[in-house]
């Protein structure tokens, strides 16, 4: 053990410097611009409309953060940013970061108040229903759904690969958003047919995305509210980044409704940034739970042990936790035969 140093404290305490620099780069389209071809400082300054005082420091900060590369004064994307932060590529994950920049960055400034009051700090601070307000504005809902696709893409590919889909023919993604999970899973398993279940406002955005992927013949939309309406009758129900939005009673209700909708032998898959059972390692999951404090009246993230217990209480058997991509894991439960 070496002598204590302030390095970690300072990195965390001033971590918002690097975060906001990254978010502003996405907002300005730096990575999309460079995906079209490398460029020097004057060209980028002009194309991105950057003030000369800040342009060089900004771009070189992105180099130091390993988001850009620079050789002989020419800037280019790193391999990661070229793949994941070019808006023109289907692999773009920046939607969730765009939302973080436009919304969450400011709201997290009120975290201390949230910790003292237990009250959310987003647009609904003086309203009653964040989701109703969000879904009432078409452009905002489109941006939100695009963000959900970005945060679900990695998990979707892992679910397609790590769950045994050969035993089933139909599935539904409950809270499907733009449709990333149905598209990825259906493409990987041509024998499957899928339903995207979400509020009716989502339908045109969902159907447009599915059509762009050429999967309209196997994926359809079903409108509804998962608290007020029955869930689709399919072999497998997926709930991704859904359970953590709600309080304990609502979490249990959603699992009970999934159990009621499934046939004997059917399965439920709930995935989130599942917190490790010792609550020591998955910092992202714990921070996501604080984000639920900011964003929702009663939502919180949970451990695998927590979710397995809720599934058993709802009637599911043999629940297990399977790691997915990054901080996400899925908890799988089965309806008895």
Which residue in the list 126, 157, 241, 244 is annotated as catalytic? 244
Return the closest-CA partner of residue 322 out of 156, 185, 171, 162.
162
2 token code pair:
């070496």
On whether the CB atoms of residues 162 and 138 are closer than 8 A, the answer is no
Relative orientation angle of helices 180-188 and 203-212, to the nearest 10 degrees: 30
Q: What number of CA atoms fall less than 13 Å from residue 186's CA on the CB side?
A: 24
Helices (H), the chain: 7-13, 15-28, 30-35, 41-48, 52-64, 79-84, 94-99, 105-107, 111-117, 130-135, 138-162, 180-188, 203-212, 248-261, 283-295, 304-314
Is 191 a known active-site residue?
A: no
C-alpha–C-alpha distance, residues 35 and 202, integer Å:
31
Strand partners, 143: none
Within a 10 A sphere around the Cβ of 37, how many other Cβ atoms?
9
C-alpha–C-alpha distance, residues 280 and 307, integer Å:
17
- Which active-site residues does the annotation give? 244
């Amino acid at each position: 053990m070496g002598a204590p140093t302030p390095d970690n404290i300072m990195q965390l305490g001033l971590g918002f410097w690097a975060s906001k620099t990254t978010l502003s780069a996405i907002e300005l389209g730096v990575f999309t611009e460079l995906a079209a071809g490398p460029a020097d400082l004057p060209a980028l300054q002009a194309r991105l409309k950057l003030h000369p005082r800040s342009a060089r420091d900004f771009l070189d900060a992105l180099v130091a953060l390993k988001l850009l590369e620079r050789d002989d004064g020419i800037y280019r994307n790193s391999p990661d940013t070229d793949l994941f932060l070019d808006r023109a590529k289907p692999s773009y994950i920046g939607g969730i970061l765009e939302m973080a920049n436009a919304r969450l960055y400011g709201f997290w400034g009120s975290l201390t108040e949230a910790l003292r009051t237990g009250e959310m700090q987003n647009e609904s601070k003086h309203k009653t229903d964040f989701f109703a307000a969000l879904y009432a504005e078409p452009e905002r809902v489109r941006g939100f759904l695009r963000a959900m696709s970005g945060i679900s893409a990695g998990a979707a590919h892992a679910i397609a690969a790590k769950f045994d889909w050969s035993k089933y023919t139909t599935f539904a993604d409950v809270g499907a958003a733009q449709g990333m999970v149905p598209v990825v899973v259906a493409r990987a398993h041509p024998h499957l047919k899928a339903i995207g279940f979400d509020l009716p406002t989502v339908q045109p955005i969902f159907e447009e995305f599915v059509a762009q992927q050429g999967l309209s013949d196997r994926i359809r939309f079903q409108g509804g509210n998962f608290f007020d309406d029955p869930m689709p009758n399919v072999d497998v129900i997926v709930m991704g980044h859904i359970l953590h939005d709600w309080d304990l009673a609502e979490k249990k209700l959603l699992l009970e409704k999934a159990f009621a909708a499934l046939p004997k032998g059917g399965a439920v898959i709930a995935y989130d940034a599942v917190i490790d059972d010792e609550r020591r390692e998955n910092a992202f999951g714990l921070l996501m739970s604080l984000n639920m404090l900011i964003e929702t009246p009663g939502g919180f993230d949970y451990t695998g042990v927590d979710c397995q217990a809720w599934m058993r209480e709802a009637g599911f058997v043999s629940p297990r936790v399977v790691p997915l991509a990054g901080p996400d894991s899925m908890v799988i439960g089965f309806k008895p035969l």
